[in-house]
């Protein structure tokens, strides 16, 4: 070991090392002081036998050890080894204090630890534990008295019991004990046995022992706290899940937050606190970008988080701790909500600072609501606000604490406590992120499996049923010449103006005379008509296989089946060709738009988005709050649930080489196609229709007075946003096109749509135990004509009216719509007349009844006649 002089010399010659060393040492000491209040680290007298350099090194090592998220036993083991070496104990053990069936007991946890013994050998297996009651021996006395003991000679101590010695054959002579205390309860006892080379432990040994025990204590406490947190959160989980409606409104991450906050609420010592959750999306949905890109809406100039997100509090969870505990969830809080109006949460989200403010009413930078915030009479006095940061250093939310319970301002300790807590919250978000991701993968797997189970891609023989190379060339498609196969395919597919007597170039095309297999061929024909097959080198067998697989991707349900998918693809074709909208788009755009239209409802389950969020996946496992039991699809995609699924499904097909009709595109072109699929398929969510209405109308208004066609083409095709808006509206026009078809078609299709709605309504009634809305209630079937009129007036009319204004070639759709409107209206009037007749009859009967009973005083006072 180095002598004093050489150490000094070394330190002088190596100032950098000296600095680093003392920094570490100071940090270790500060930590040790922080963790063990009663121990005076300045009292160097008690260290005199231990080289202080070594001492600090050990402490530092232990502190490092404590920071590892390792298991408690392992860390305590290390502490015990150090202490055994320092106080020269023959062996050291750790007993845990626990209670079973209400009876406290002590059990060996780490046994016979020496400076060199192996952890695995010292860790006691639950099967080989030595267990004894808490009122036995000196360890028991330490646990009950919660006081450390120094027994120089066990034979002279009445409390000593040789119960353990008898089992192990060891001979205890002298010992030191120390109780591990957590929240005033003894959770375990450390015992050091037999001083090596002496017959008892000295007072100095005792002091050192105690000092190191404080480390063991911190470790045990950490573990205990984590454990209790777990217990407590499980308890609150049970309590809340059964009692609170709050959970129905929270996502998994928020629920995690909530659990953590709920559990620690008693430590916070404040009257109220709120957590504002920040929108984590870095990029907006394409349709939300449109108004900004068009210049209709100012780009966002407001505050942003340090990582560049707009500061949007999408939800506030408000916790009232005063009096009756209460939790309020405020989704989409307005900017003038009392919790936000001061601007403080936004400031914190923007800067990531901790803000501790007293007497906020007097503050003029932040203007807090001065009067009571709600009917509880709660008035804001002092505020402590701090960011919740996840491990990726992103601010995920802002926690704000109001009014310390004792009325005093929040102090540095509150700051520390709350900071620790928000760190913990941030951490819990991360855990939750991982959890969410795992689940996402899990759900994805579920869906993928479902997809696989329900359908397999086009088989060889199915391919041959259209592209019959075996028969014609006596060869497999991969051995055939593409040009020959194109010829063959074109010959097999019906000509465009005669598909079972119907023309693909007419908006009035009806699929009814065509078989489902025939529709696959008609679909292929349209790609040839568009001229994209040869241009983009789509292999004939890939095109056939893809079209066939898309057909198989549609389930055999009442309305959202392959026929609907085909019709939407067809109307897109018609809008581009017959409606002459193609002039705004490139060949690749047109190719992608028609393909996306075919795919837009693929794997539809016959139920709408709302149903997916409501659906109880497994009714028998009745942990019945909505979020947990919703269908996997609802969990995976937040909004436009079904549309995102159709999109994902279509992209899965694209990812498969043998199905990828876009396989010969360049990377950039392929990315364009992917984006167009996003736009087209998501656009079929009617919920988004209302967002794009005005934007579309503005384009129509702008182009209407343009005298030259060229001008309109330039106005649109040079602007990708306008192109997308029209494209999105075209998708709506296609999706609703059944309403414009000849009356014989529309009247039948409307019934199919209704039938599918009614089936969902039946499901809602039986599975979800909910009363369906009239549209989905088969008991309201007679109101169908009226509802169709409403649907035409509120949704469809705009689409086709604006399209015919935009391009007169599309007028046949609007005419068809209007004719159907008149037909439905006539039916509605028949129904109304019938209802009126029933109503009149009822009234007449009532009047007659009343006459009979009242003897002339008809209808005047029915109640009177009874009494």
**Catalytically annotated residues:** 560
In sequence order, the 6+-apart residues with CB closer than 8 A to the CB of 608 are 642, 760
Contact range with Zn ion by CB under 5 A, out of 348-356, 475-483, 485-493, 732-740:
732-740
| CA nearest neighbour of 50 among 191, 215, 209, 217 | 209
In the complex with Zn ion, the residue whose CB is nearer, 735 or 756, is 735
824 is in an annotated binding site: no
User: CB-hemisphere CA count at 13 Å for 208?
Assistant: 27
The whole-angstrom separation of Cα 105 and Cα 188 is: 10
Number of residues that bind Zn ion (CB under 5 A): 2
Q: Residue 752, exposed/middle/buried by CB under 10 A (0-12, 13-18, 19+)?
A: middle
For the stretch 422-428, contacts whose Cβ atoms lie closer than 8 Å and that sit 24 or more positions apart, written own/partner, are 422/386, 422/387, 422/388, 422/389, 423/389, 424/260, 424/264, 425/257, 425/260, 425/261, 425/388, 425/397, 425/399, 426/388, 426/389, 426/390, 426/391, 426/396, 427/390, 427/391, 428/256, 428/257, 428/260
Report the alpha-carbon distance of residue 651 to residue 681 in Å, rounded. Answer: 11
Contact indicator for 570, 800 with CB cutoff of 8 Å: no
CB closer to Zn ion, 735 vs 802: 735
Known binder of ligand: residue 416? no
* Residue closer to Zn ion, measured from CB, 540 or 731: 731
Q: Min. distance of Cβ 490 from Zn ion in angstroms? A: 29
Question: Candidates 110-118, 395-403, 417-425, 593-601 — which segment interacts with Zn ion by CB under 5 A?
Answer: 593-601
Residue 564 marked ligand-binding = yes
Residue (404 or 604) nearer to Zn ion, CB: 604
Q: Residue 315 is encoded by which pair of tokens?
A: 């939800």
CB of 773 to Zn ion, least distance (A): 19
Is 413 annotated to bind ligand? no
Which of 259/560 has CB closer to Zn ion? Answer: 560
Please report whether residue 735 would count as binding Zn ion according to CB under 5 A.
yes
Report how far residue 402's alpha carbon sits from residue 271's, in angstroms, rounded to the nearest whole number: 6
Piece in contact with Zn ion (CB under 5 A), picked from 149-157, 159-167, 610-618, 731-739: 731-739
CB 594, min distance to Zn ion, A: 15
Binding mask 111-140 for Zn ion (x = CB under 5 A): ------------------------------
What minimum distance in Å lies between the beta carbon of 505 and Zn ion? Answer: 22
Beta bridge partners of 327: 319
637 is in an annotated binding site: no
- Closest separation between CB of residue 564 and Zn ion, Å? 6
Stretch that binds Zn ion, among 136-144, 520-528, 734-742, 819-827 (CB under 5 A): 734-742
Tally of CB atoms within 10 A around 166: 9
| CA gap 809, 381 in Å, rounded | 67
Q: 604: annotated binding-site residue? A: no
Closest residue to Zn ion, judged by C-beta, is 601
In whole angstroms, the minimum distance from the beta carbon of 755 to Zn ion comes to 16
Q: CA angle, 203 as apex, 198 and 208 as ends, to 5°?
A: 95
Question: Measured from the CB atom, is 274 or 650 closer to Zn ion?
Answer: 650
Q: Does 756 bind Zn ion (CB under 5 A)?
A: no
What are 134's two structure tokens? 């808490």
Instruction: Pick the stretch among 387-395, 493-501, 594-602, 756-764 that binds Zn ion (CB under 5 A).
Output: 594-602
For the window 554-583, what string marks contact with Zn ion as x by the rule CB under 5 A?
------------------------------
**Would you say 279 is a known binding-site residue?**
no
Q: How far is CA 571 from the centre of its chain?
A: 36
Min dist CB 601 to Zn ion, Å, is 4
- Which residues ranging from 601 to 640 are in contact with Zn ion (CB under 5 A)? 601
446 is in an annotated binding site: no
511 binds Zn ion (CB under 5 A): no
CB atoms within 10 A of CB 573: 29
Is 560 annotated for ligand binding? yes
Calculate the dihedral angle through the C-alpha atoms of 426, 430, 431, 437, rounding to the nearest 10 degrees.
150
User: Going by DSSP bridges, is the β-strand pair 185-195/175-182 parallel, antiparallel, or unpaired?
Assistant: antiparallel
Binding site for Zn ion (CB under 5 A): 601, 735
Residue ranges for the binding site for AMP? Answer: 560-564, 601, 735, 788
Binding site residues, as ranges? 560-564, 600-601, 735, 788
Output the known binding site for Zn(2+): 564, 600-601, 735
């Amino acid at each position: 070991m180095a002598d004093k002089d050489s150490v000094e010399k070394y330190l002088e010659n190596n100032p950098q090392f000296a600095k680093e060393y003392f920094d570490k040492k100071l940090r270790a000491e500060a930590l040790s002081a922080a963790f063990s209040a009663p121990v005076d680290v300045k009292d160097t007298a008690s260290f005199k036998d231990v080289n202080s350099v070594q001492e600090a090194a050990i402490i530092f090592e232990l502190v490092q050890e404590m920071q590892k998220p390792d298991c408690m036993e392992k860390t305590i083991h290390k502490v015990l080894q150090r202490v055994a070496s320092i106080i020269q104990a023959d062996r050291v053990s750790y007993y845990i204090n626990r209670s079973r069936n209400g009876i406290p007991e002590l059990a060996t946890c780490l046994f016979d630890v020496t400076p060199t013994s192996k952890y695995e050998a010292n860790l006691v297996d639950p099967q080989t534990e030595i267990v004894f009651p808490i009122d036995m021996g000196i360890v028991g006395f330490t646990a009950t008295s919660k006081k450390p003991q120094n027994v120089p000679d066990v034979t002279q101590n009445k409390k000593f019991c040789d119960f353990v010695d008898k089992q192990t054959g060891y001979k205890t002579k002298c010992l030191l004990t120390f109780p591990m205390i957590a929240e005033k309860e003894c959770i375990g006892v450390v015992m050091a046995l037999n001083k090596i080379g002496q017959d008892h432990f000295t007072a100095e040994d005792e002091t050192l022992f105690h000092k190191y025990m404080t480390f063991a204590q911190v470790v045990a406490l950490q573990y205990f706290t984590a454990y209790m947190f777990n217990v407590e959160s499980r308890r609150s989980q049970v309590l809340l899940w059964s009692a609170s409606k709050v959970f129905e409104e929270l996502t998994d991450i928020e629920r995690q937050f909530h659990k953590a906050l709920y559990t620690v609420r008693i430590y916070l010592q404040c009257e109220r606190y709120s957590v504002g959750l920040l929108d984590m999306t870095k990029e907006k949905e394409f349709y939300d970008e449109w108004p900004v890109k068009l210049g209709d809406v100012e780009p966002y100039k407001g505050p942003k988080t340090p990582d560049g997100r707009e500061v949007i509090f999408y939800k506030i969870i408000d916790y009232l701790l005063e009096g009756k505990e209460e939790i309020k969830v405020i989704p989409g809080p307005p900017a003038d909500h009392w919790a936000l109006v001061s601007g403080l949460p936004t400031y914190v989200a923007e800067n990531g600072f901790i803000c501790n403010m007293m007497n906020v009413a007097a503050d003029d930078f932040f203007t807090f609501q001065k009067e009571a915030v709600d009917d509880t009479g709660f008035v804001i006095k002092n505020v402590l606000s701090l960011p919740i940061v996840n491990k990726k250093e992103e601010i995920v939310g802002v926690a704000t604490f109001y009014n310390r319970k004792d009325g005093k301002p929040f102090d540095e300790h509150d700051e520390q406590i709350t900071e620790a807590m928000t760190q913990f919250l941030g951490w819990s978000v991360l855990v939750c992120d991982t959890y969410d991701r795992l689940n996402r993968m899990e759900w994805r797997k579920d869906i993928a499996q479902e997809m696989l189970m329900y359908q397999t891609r086009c088989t060889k023989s199915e391919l041959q049923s259209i592209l019959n190379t075996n028969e014609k060339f006596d060869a497999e498609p991969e051995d055939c010449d593409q040009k020959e196969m194109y010829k063959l395919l074109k010959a097999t597919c019906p000509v465009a103006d005669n598909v079972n007597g119907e023309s693909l170039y007419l908006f009035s095309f009806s699929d009814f005379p065509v078989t489902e297999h025939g529709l696959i061929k008609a679909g292929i024909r349209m790609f040839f008509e568009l001229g994209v097959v040869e241009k983009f080198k789509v292999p004939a067998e890939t095109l056939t296989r893809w079209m066939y697989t898309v057909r198989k991707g549609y389930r055999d349900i009442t309305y959202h089946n392959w026929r609907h998918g085909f019709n939407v693809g067809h109307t897109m074709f018609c809008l581009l060709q017959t409606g002459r909208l193609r002039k705004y788009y490139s060949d690749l755009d047109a190719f992608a738009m028609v393909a996306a239209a075919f795919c837009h409802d693929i794997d539809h389950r016959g139920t709408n988005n709302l149903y997916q969020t409501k659906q109880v996946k497994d009714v028998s496992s009745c942990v019945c709050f909505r979020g947990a039991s919703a269908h996997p699809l609802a969990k995976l995609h937040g909004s436009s649930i079904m549309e995102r699924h159709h999109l994902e499904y279509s992209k899965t097909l694209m990812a498969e080489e043998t199905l990828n009709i876009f396989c010969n595109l360049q990377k950039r072109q392929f990315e364009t196609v992917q984006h167009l699929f996003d736009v087209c398929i998501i656009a079929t969510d009617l919920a988004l229709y209302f967002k794009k209405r005005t934007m579309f109308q503005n384009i129509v208004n702008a182009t209407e007075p343009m005298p030259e066609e060229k001008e309109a083409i330039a106005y649109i095709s040079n602007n990708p946003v306008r192109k997308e808006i029209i494209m999105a509206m075209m998708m709506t026009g296609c999706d609703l096109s059944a309403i414009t078809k000849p009356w014989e078609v529309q009247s039948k299709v409307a019934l199919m749509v209704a039938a599918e709605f009614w089936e969902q309504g039946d499901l809602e009634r039986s599975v979800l135990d909910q009363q369906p809305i009239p549209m989905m209630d088969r008991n309201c079937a007679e109101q169908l004509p009226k509802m169709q009129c409403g649907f035409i007036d509120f949704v469809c009319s705009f689409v086709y009216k604006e399209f015919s204004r935009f391009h007169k070639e599309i007028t046949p759709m609007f005419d068809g719509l209007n004719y159907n409107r008149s037909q439905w209206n006539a039916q509605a009037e028949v129904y109304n007349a019938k209802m009126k007749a029933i109503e009149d009859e009822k009234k007449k009967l009532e009047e007659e009844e009343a006459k009979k009973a009242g003897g002339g005083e008809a209808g005047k006072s029915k109640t009177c006649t009874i009494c």
